[in-house]
Amino acid sequence: MVAAIGLDLPTVRRLAIARAGLWRPEPTGLRERARRGEEAARSDAQAIIDRFGYLQLDTVAVAGARSHAIVLLSRLEGFSAELAEALLRPGAPLFEYWGHEVSWIPHDLYPAFAFRRRAFKTHPWWGDVLGQHPKLTRQILRRIEVEGPLRSADLEGSSSAGWWNLKLTKKIATALWSAGELAIASRSSFLRTFDLTSRVLPSAVRRRSLDDGAALRTLLLRALAGHGWATTGTLASTWRLRNLRPAIKAALAELVEAGEVVPATLVGDEGREKQGWVRPEDLELAAGLRRRRPRRDRGVLLSPFDPLLWDRGRVLELFGFEQVLEIFKPAAQRVYGYYCMPVLAADRLIARVDLKADRREGTLRVLALHRERSQGDRKVDRVAVDHALKRYAAAVGLRLVGP
């Protein structure tokens, strides 16, 4: 086994920010501002999705935009929140599937999820719903084949309130999508349109195959490209890879042998060590980041589901920041707020804000602002928070109210 390289905490933190596309000024390898014109802006957004291998979708729009839009807005100044909702369309180099969660994923990773499509022939929540209702399954497939794409809202049947009481036809359509027989052709107002996979994905994408070992190596390497440095647990969680520990260990060993991954130990406070991995090219980037002075006054708001933030243990390790998601807590039990968005400035998470948009009034109201205990210039931090709020309000086209 190759001896592990030691990396200190500030280096790993800066590398994580740079690979997340959030280091300012460069280098992130990504554009800082969206280009003019829809097609150019789409290409800029695609580059971000390519970096991580996924753009996680979420329904909550209380802050004026949904998470997938916020992830793009935080990296591409001048990008349109409306365009972020319409990235998946016929001909787009994306497909929707179970990645980190339900995500838009680049075409090149479609072959890597064959193992999941096989596993999801039996749906992970509803069991063998396709086998239990073969006639209705055939009818839905035939209807889409003959009539064309079908919106989820148009599926027949009755449904009571709640995710677990979905009408049967919608359950079957979703199960067919999970199994790979249907695909999501587009979304409009966040509603899915189902179509035959053969009509959504190009044949070159569908026909390319990877064995399970190659698929696992592909996914682990793409996850590492987005994180910079990461533990095995973080890499597995990026794609929700469960009960695959021996296979993951073997895949990482093969990547090390091929020279695509290097073992790297994070040396944290008080000499604590944590084993992880890094790509050789990112070691060069990390060395350069040690010498760079980041912009401290240009804060940016992050979605609570941002790729930099969803691994809460990693966020605590790298930033000393306790990332909290309180959407599912009763209001009286919330400490920071319903949809709390951290503020990143330079290489620190300096505050968190709870926002609520009102489109009828055209306002974005700051319900709460909590500043972290300052480790730097408080005046500079205040300027950074102010910049982050104003930039975000402009991005979603609302007038900022408060704090």
CA distance 318 to 392: 25
Q: Give the strand order in the sheet containing 5-8.
A: 5-8, 262-267, 273-278, 229-230
pLDDT for the residue numbered 295? 78
Sign, CA torsion 217/223/228/233: negative
Residues in the chain: 403
CA distance 260 to 281: 9
CA distance 22 to 9: 18
pLDDT at 1 over 60: no
pLDDT in tens, 126-168: 999 999 999 999 999 999 999 999 998 787 665 555 545 568 9
pLDDT in tens, 50-98: 999 999 999 999 999 999 999 999 999 999 999 999 999 999 999 999 9
Helix (H) or strand (E) holding 400: strand 399-401
308: pLDDT confidence band, cut at 50, 70 and 90?
A: very high
For residue 378 the two structure tokens come to 């408080």
CA distance 184 to 50: 19
196: pLDDT confidence band, cut at 50, 70 and 90?
A: very high
Q: Give the number of other CB atoms < 10 A from CB of residue 128.
A: 11
From the list 372, 297, 322, 320, the residue with the least C-alpha distance to 9 is 320
CA distance 275 to 292: 26
Report the Cα–Cα distance between both ends of the chain, in Å, rounded.
Answer: 54
Q: 125 phi and psi, to 5 degrees?
A: -105, -40
DSSP state letters, 162-175: SGGG--HHHHHHHH
From residue 86, alpha-carbon distances to 40, 98, 190, 284 in Å are 14, 19, 9, 36
pLDDT in tens, 223-234: 999 999 999 999
In the DSSP assignment, the letter for residue 340 is E
> What is the bridge-based pairing of β-strands 363-371 and 399-401?
parallel
Q: Give the number of other CB atoms < 10 A from CB of residue 99.
A: 26
From the list 399, 400, 395, 332, the residue with the least C-alpha distance to 366 is 400
pLDDT for the residue numbered 271? 76
The answer to whether the beta carbons of residues 112 and 218 sit under 8 Å apart is: yes
361: pLDDT confidence band, cut at 50, 70 and 90?
A: very high
3-state secondary structure of 394: helix
Which neighbouring-strand residues pair with 123?
Answer: 127
